[in-house]
Protein backbone atom coordinates (compact mmCIF):
# COMPACT_ATOMS: atom_id res chain seq x y z
CA UNK A 1 0.00 0.00 0.00
CA UNK A 2 1.56 3.37 -0.99
CA UNK A 3 2.19 5.81 1.82
CA UNK A 4 0.45 9.18 1.69
CA UNK A 5 1.73 12.51 3.03
CA UNK A 6 -0.03 15.83 3.50
CA UNK A 7 1.86 18.85 2.11
CA UNK A 8 0.35 22.33 2.16
CA UNK A 9 -3.23 21.40 1.43
CA UNK A 10 -2.71 18.25 -0.64
CA UNK A 11 -2.53 14.54 0.05
CA UNK A 12 0.31 13.18 -2.07
CA UNK A 13 2.06 9.88 -2.66
CA UNK A 14 4.86 9.88 -0.07
CA UNK A 15 7.56 9.39 -2.72
CA UNK A 16 6.35 12.48 -4.63
CA UNK A 17 5.74 14.66 -1.58
CA UNK A 18 8.12 17.64 -1.72
CA UNK A 19 8.51 21.17 -0.42
CA UNK A 20 9.98 24.15 -2.25
CA UNK A 21 13.78 24.64 -2.22
CA UNK A 22 13.26 28.04 -0.59
CA UNK A 23 11.17 26.68 2.24
CA UNK A 24 12.68 28.24 5.36
CA UNK A 25 12.64 24.88 7.09
CA UNK A 26 15.00 23.57 4.42
CA UNK A 27 17.24 26.65 4.33
CA UNK A 28 17.32 27.80 7.96
CA UNK A 29 15.73 25.03 10.05
CA UNK A 30 13.17 27.79 10.68
CA UNK A 31 10.38 25.53 11.81
CA UNK A 32 8.97 23.35 14.55
CA UNK A 33 7.58 19.85 14.78
CA UNK A 34 5.68 17.35 16.89
CA UNK A 35 5.66 13.57 17.02
CA UNK A 36 2.59 11.86 18.53
CA UNK A 37 2.35 8.20 19.25
CA UNK A 38 -0.53 6.31 17.67
CA UNK A 39 -1.46 3.27 19.74
CA UNK A 40 -4.32 0.84 19.23
CA UNK A 41 -6.06 3.32 16.94
CA UNK A 42 -5.73 6.31 19.29
CA UNK A 43 -3.59 9.44 19.09
CA UNK A 44 -1.83 9.55 22.46
CA UNK A 45 -1.75 12.84 24.41
CA UNK A 46 -2.80 14.88 21.38
CA UNK A 47 -3.98 17.84 23.46
CA UNK A 48 -0.61 18.19 25.15
CA UNK A 49 1.27 17.81 21.87
CA UNK A 50 -0.84 20.50 20.17
CA UNK A 51 -0.50 22.79 23.20
CA UNK A 52 3.28 22.40 22.96
CA UNK A 53 3.12 23.04 19.19
CA UNK A 54 1.24 26.25 20.00
CA UNK A 55 3.96 27.27 22.45
CA UNK A 56 6.76 26.50 19.97
CA UNK A 57 5.00 28.50 17.25
CA UNK A 58 4.43 31.43 19.60
CA UNK A 59 8.05 31.46 20.78
CA UNK A 60 9.19 31.78 17.15
CA UNK A 61 6.34 34.06 16.01
CA UNK A 62 5.20 31.55 13.37
CA UNK A 63 1.45 31.46 12.75
CA UNK A 64 -0.72 28.37 12.78
CA UNK A 65 -0.85 26.98 9.23
CA UNK A 66 -4.44 25.84 9.79
CA UNK A 67 -6.99 26.22 12.54
CA UNK A 68 -6.20 23.75 15.31
CA UNK A 69 -9.34 21.69 14.63
CA UNK A 70 -8.49 21.52 10.91
CA UNK A 71 -5.00 20.28 11.78
CA UNK A 72 -6.56 17.52 13.86
CA UNK A 73 -8.69 16.55 10.85
CA UNK A 74 -5.54 16.38 8.67
CA UNK A 75 -3.71 14.27 11.28
CA UNK A 76 -6.62 11.82 11.41
CA UNK A 77 -6.86 11.70 7.62
CA UNK A 78 -3.14 10.99 7.21
CA UNK A 79 -3.35 8.26 9.84
CA UNK A 80 -6.41 6.79 8.11
CA UNK A 81 -4.95 6.92 4.61
CA UNK A 82 -1.80 5.16 5.83
CA UNK A 83 -3.81 2.65 7.88
CA UNK A 84 -1.74 3.29 10.97
CA UNK A 85 -3.15 1.62 14.08
CA UNK A 86 0.20 1.61 15.87
CA UNK A 87 2.97 4.01 14.95
CA UNK A 88 3.37 7.75 14.90
CA UNK A 89 2.06 10.88 13.28
CA UNK A 90 4.60 13.62 12.49
CA UNK A 91 3.79 17.27 11.92
CA UNK A 92 6.14 20.00 10.82
CA UNK A 93 5.37 23.70 10.49
CA UNK A 94 7.88 26.12 8.98
CA UNK A 95 7.84 29.86 8.44
CA UNK A 96 7.05 29.18 4.79
CA UNK A 97 8.59 29.78 1.39
CA UNK A 98 10.34 33.07 0.62
CA UNK A 99 13.47 34.34 -1.17
CA UNK A 100 16.47 33.54 1.02
CA UNK A 101 16.98 36.26 3.64
CA UNK A 102 17.80 35.58 7.28
CA UNK A 103 15.25 38.09 8.57
CA UNK A 104 11.59 37.08 8.63
CA UNK A 105 9.80 37.03 5.26
CA UNK A 106 7.10 39.59 4.40
CA UNK A 107 3.91 39.53 6.45
CA UNK A 108 1.40 37.27 4.79
CA UNK A 109 3.94 34.53 3.95
CA UNK A 110 2.02 31.34 4.65
CA UNK A 111 3.56 28.84 7.07
CA UNK A 112 4.20 25.43 5.47
CA UNK A 113 2.64 22.30 6.91
CA UNK A 114 3.70 18.70 6.37
CA UNK A 115 1.99 15.76 8.08
CA UNK A 116 3.13 12.16 7.74
CA UNK A 117 2.28 8.92 9.54
CA UNK A 118 4.24 5.73 9.90
CA UNK A 119 3.52 2.28 11.28
CA UNK A 120 5.62 0.72 14.00
CA UNK A 121 5.72 -2.74 15.47
CA UNK A 122 4.51 -2.86 19.11
CA UNK A 123 5.87 -6.41 19.51
CA UNK A 124 9.37 -5.29 18.52
CA UNK A 125 9.09 -2.29 20.87
CA UNK A 126 8.04 -4.54 23.76
CA UNK A 127 10.98 -6.86 23.03
CA UNK A 128 13.34 -3.91 23.08
CA UNK A 129 11.97 -2.76 26.43
CA UNK A 130 12.43 -6.26 27.85
CA UNK A 131 16.15 -6.10 27.08
CA UNK A 132 16.63 -2.41 27.86
CA UNK A 133 18.97 -0.10 25.97
CA UNK A 134 22.46 1.35 26.28
CA UNK A 135 23.20 5.06 26.28
CA UNK A 136 26.43 6.97 25.82
CA UNK A 137 27.21 10.43 27.16
CA UNK A 138 28.30 13.42 25.05
CA UNK A 139 29.08 17.04 25.92
CA UNK A 140 26.11 19.40 25.73
CA UNK A 141 26.65 21.62 22.70
CA UNK A 142 23.17 22.92 21.87
CA UNK A 143 21.73 26.43 22.01
CA UNK A 144 19.86 27.50 25.12
CA UNK A 145 16.35 27.36 23.60
CA UNK A 146 16.03 23.59 23.40
CA UNK A 147 12.70 24.07 25.17
CA UNK A 148 11.34 24.97 21.71
CA UNK A 149 10.79 21.88 19.57
CA UNK A 150 12.53 23.15 16.45
CA UNK A 151 13.70 21.13 13.48
CA UNK A 152 17.20 22.52 14.13
CA UNK A 153 18.50 19.19 15.39
CA UNK A 154 22.07 18.95 14.11
CA UNK A 155 23.73 18.40 17.52
CA UNK A 156 21.07 15.78 18.25
CA UNK A 157 21.73 14.09 14.90
CA UNK A 158 25.49 13.96 15.54
CA UNK A 159 25.01 12.69 19.10
CA UNK A 160 22.60 9.96 17.96
CA UNK A 161 25.02 8.88 15.24
CA UNK A 162 27.83 8.65 17.80
CA UNK A 163 25.56 6.45 19.91
CA UNK A 164 24.80 4.17 16.95
CA UNK A 165 28.49 3.84 16.13
CA UNK A 166 29.11 2.72 19.72
CA UNK A 167 26.28 0.20 19.61
CA UNK A 168 24.08 2.33 21.86
CA UNK A 169 20.47 3.41 21.45
CA UNK A 170 20.71 6.96 22.76
CA UNK A 171 23.18 9.69 23.68
CA UNK A 172 22.72 11.74 26.84
CA UNK A 173 23.93 15.33 26.75
CA UNK A 174 25.96 16.32 29.82
CA UNK A 175 26.24 20.00 30.75
CA UNK A 176 29.36 21.85 31.93
CA UNK A 177 28.48 21.06 35.55
CA UNK A 178 28.51 17.29 34.89
CA UNK A 179 24.73 16.92 34.98
CA UNK A 180 22.70 15.06 32.38
CA UNK A 181 20.36 17.34 30.46
CA UNK A 182 18.44 14.96 28.18
CA UNK A 183 18.85 12.50 25.36
CA UNK A 184 19.23 13.34 21.67
CA UNK A 185 15.52 12.57 21.23
CA UNK A 186 14.35 11.56 24.72
CA UNK A 187 14.16 12.80 28.31
CA UNK A 188 16.48 11.19 30.86
CA UNK A 189 15.49 9.77 34.24
CA UNK A 190 16.96 7.79 37.11
CA UNK A 191 15.44 6.06 40.12
CA UNK A 192 17.34 6.50 43.38
CA UNK A 193 18.07 3.66 45.79
CA UNK A 194 15.06 4.92 47.79
CA UNK A 195 12.79 4.56 44.78
CA UNK A 196 12.47 8.29 44.01
CA UNK A 197 12.11 9.25 40.34
CA UNK A 198 14.57 11.96 39.36
CA UNK A 199 14.48 14.04 36.20
CA UNK A 200 15.78 17.47 35.35
CA UNK A 201 13.43 20.47 35.72
CA UNK A 202 12.00 21.54 32.38
CA UNK A 203 12.25 25.32 32.69
CA UNK A 204 15.30 25.44 30.45
CA UNK A 205 18.04 23.14 29.17
CA UNK A 206 15.65 20.42 28.04
CA UNK A 207 12.51 19.91 26.03
CA UNK A 208 9.46 19.52 28.26
CA UNK A 209 8.59 16.07 26.94
CA UNK A 210 4.93 15.17 26.74
CA UNK A 211 5.74 11.61 27.76
CA UNK A 212 7.68 13.06 30.71
CA UNK A 213 4.61 15.05 31.80
CA UNK A 214 2.32 12.02 31.49
CA UNK A 215 4.83 9.83 33.38
CA UNK A 216 4.46 12.37 36.23
CA UNK A 217 0.72 11.60 36.16
CA UNK A 218 1.39 7.85 36.14
CA UNK A 219 3.86 8.15 39.03
CA UNK A 220 1.44 10.24 41.11
CA UNK A 221 -1.33 7.74 40.52
CA UNK A 222 0.94 4.95 41.71
CA UNK A 223 2.17 6.89 44.74
CA UNK A 224 5.76 7.23 43.50
CA UNK A 225 7.82 10.19 44.66
CA UNK A 226 9.36 12.51 42.04
CA UNK A 227 12.20 14.98 42.41
CA UNK A 228 12.80 17.47 39.61
CA UNK A 229 16.50 18.13 39.85
CA UNK A 230 19.68 17.61 37.90
CA UNK A 231 21.62 14.37 38.32
CA UNK A 232 25.22 13.65 37.46
CA UNK A 233 26.51 10.85 35.28
CA UNK A 234 28.13 9.31 38.39
CA UNK A 235 24.81 9.33 40.22
CA UNK A 236 23.21 7.63 37.23
CA UNK A 237 25.88 4.90 37.23
CA UNK A 238 25.02 4.00 40.78
CA UNK A 239 21.26 4.54 40.53
CA UNK A 240 18.77 1.76 41.13
CA UNK A 241 17.34 2.27 37.66
CA UNK A 242 17.59 4.56 34.67
CA UNK A 243 15.22 5.08 31.78
CA UNK A 244 14.32 7.39 28.92
CA UNK A 245 10.95 8.71 27.77
CA UNK A 246 9.61 9.95 24.44
CA UNK A 247 6.53 9.61 22.27
CA UNK A 248 8.30 6.96 20.21
CA UNK A 249 9.82 4.93 23.05
CA UNK A 250 7.31 5.65 25.88
CA UNK A 251 9.28 4.42 28.90
CA UNK A 252 12.44 2.57 27.83
CA UNK A 253 14.70 1.07 30.50
CA UNK A 254 18.40 1.99 30.31
CA UNK A 255 20.69 -0.86 31.35
CA UNK A 256 24.10 0.67 30.62
CA UNK A 257 25.60 4.17 30.55
CA UNK A 258 28.88 4.31 28.65
CA UNK A 259 30.76 1.25 29.95
CA UNK A 260 28.88 1.08 33.26
CA UNK A 261 25.95 -1.24 33.91
CA UNK A 262 23.01 0.33 35.71
CA UNK A 263 22.32 -1.79 38.82
CA UNK A 264 22.47 -5.44 37.73
CA UNK A 265 22.27 -4.57 34.03
CA UNK A 266 18.62 -5.59 33.76
CA UNK A 267 15.60 -3.31 33.17
CA UNK A 268 14.33 -1.90 36.44
CA UNK A 269 10.94 -2.83 37.86
CA UNK A 270 9.74 0.77 38.24
CA UNK A 271 10.49 1.59 34.60
CA UNK A 272 8.69 -1.57 33.54
CA UNK A 273 5.63 -0.75 35.63
CA UNK A 274 5.52 2.88 34.41
CA UNK A 275 5.63 1.57 30.86
CA UNK A 276 2.84 -0.91 31.55
CA UNK A 277 0.60 1.73 33.17
CA UNK A 278 1.30 4.54 30.70
CA UNK A 279 -1.45 3.90 28.17
CA UNK A 280 -4.15 3.73 30.88
CA UNK A 281 -3.25 7.19 32.13
CA UNK A 282 -2.44 8.99 28.85
CA UNK A 283 -5.14 10.86 26.92
CA UNK A 284 -6.44 8.77 24.01
CA UNK A 285 -8.11 10.57 21.09
CA UNK A 286 -9.70 8.37 18.42
CA UNK A 287 -7.51 8.51 15.30
N1 LIG B 1 11.68 13.51 20.25
N2 LIG B 1 13.92 15.63 24.24
C3 LIG B 1 14.18 15.78 22.92
C4 LIG B 1 15.41 16.50 22.50
C5 LIG B 1 13.29 15.22 21.98
O6 LIG B 1 13.54 15.36 20.66
C7 LIG B 1 12.15 14.51 22.43
C8 LIG B 1 11.16 13.92 21.47
C9 LIG B 1 11.94 14.41 23.81
C10 LIG B 1 10.74 13.70 24.37
O11 LIG B 1 9.56 14.44 24.13
P12 LIG B 1 8.15 13.71 23.97
O13 LIG B 1 7.94 12.91 25.19
O14 LIG B 1 7.19 14.83 23.84
O15 LIG B 1 8.24 12.86 22.72
C16 LIG B 1 12.84 14.99 24.68
C17 LIG B 1 10.79 13.04 19.21
C18 LIG B 1 10.11 11.77 19.57
C19 LIG B 1 11.56 12.98 17.90
O20 LIG B 1 12.33 13.89 17.67
O21 LIG B 1 11.37 12.05 17.12
- Cβ atoms of residues 145 and 156 within 8 Å: no
Q: Which fold has domain 125-286?
A: D-amino Acid Aminotransferase; Chain A, domain 2 (3.20.10)
The span from the CA of 131 to the CA of 135, in Å, is: 13
Q: Where in the chain is the domain with CATH 3.30.470.10?
A: 4-120
Residue whose CA is at the smallest distance from ligand 1 atom 3: 185
Q: What is the pLDDT along the chain (287 residues), one digit of tens a residue?
A: 789 999 999 999 999 999 999 999 999 999 999 999 999 999 999 999 999 999 999 999 999 999 999 999 999 999 999 999 999 999 999 999 999 999 999 999 999 999 999 999 999 999 999 999 999 999 999 999 999 999 999 999 999 999 999 999 999 999 999 999 999 999 999 999 999 999 999 988 999 999 999 999 999 999 999 999 999 999 999 999 999 999 999 999 999 999 999 999 999 999 999 999 999 999 999 99
Index of the ligand 1 atom closest to the CA of residue 149: 6
- Cβ atoms of residues 253 and 132 within 8 Å: yes
Q: How far is the CA of 3 from the centre of ligand 1 (A)?
A: 24
pTM over 0.85: yes
85 DSSP β-pair partners: none
Residues 6+ apart with CB under 8 A from 215: 189, 197, 245, 251, 274, 278
Q: How far is the CA of 247 from the centre of ligand 1 (A)?
A: 7
The span from the CA of 238 to the CA of 156, in Å, is: 26
Q: Determine whether 149 is an active site residue.
A: yes
Candidate list 118, 149, 160, 284, residue with the active-site label: 149
> What is the spatial order of strands in the sheet that 31-39 belongs to?
10-13, 4-7, 112-119, 87-94, 31-39, 42-44, 284-286
Q: How far is the CA of 21 from the centre of ligand 1 (A)?
A: 26
Task: Identify the residues whose C-beta falls under 6 Å from ligand 1.
Answer: 35, 156, 182, 185-187, 207, 209-212, 245-248
Q: Where in the chain is the domain with CATH 3.20.10.10?
A: 125-286
Rounded to a whole number of angstroms, the distance between the first and last alpha carbons of the chain is 19
Length of the chain: 287
- Cβ atoms of residues 48 and 214 within 8 Å: yes
The span from the CA of 46 to the CA of 210, in Å, is: 9
Index of the ligand 1 atom closest to the CA of residue 146: 4
Q: How far is the CA of 222 from the centre of ligand 1 (A)?
A: 24
Is CATH 3.30.470.10 correct for 4-120?
yes
pLDDT digits (tens, 9 = 90+) for 173-185: 999 999 999 999 9
Amino acid sequence: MPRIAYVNGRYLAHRDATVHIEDRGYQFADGVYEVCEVAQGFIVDMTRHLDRLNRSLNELAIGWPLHRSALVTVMREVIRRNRVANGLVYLQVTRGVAPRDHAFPPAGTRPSLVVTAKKSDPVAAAAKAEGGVKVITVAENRWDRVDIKTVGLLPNVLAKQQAREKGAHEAWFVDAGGNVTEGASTNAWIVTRDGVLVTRPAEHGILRGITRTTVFDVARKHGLAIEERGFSVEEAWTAREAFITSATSIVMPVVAIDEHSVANGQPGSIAISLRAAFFDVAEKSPA
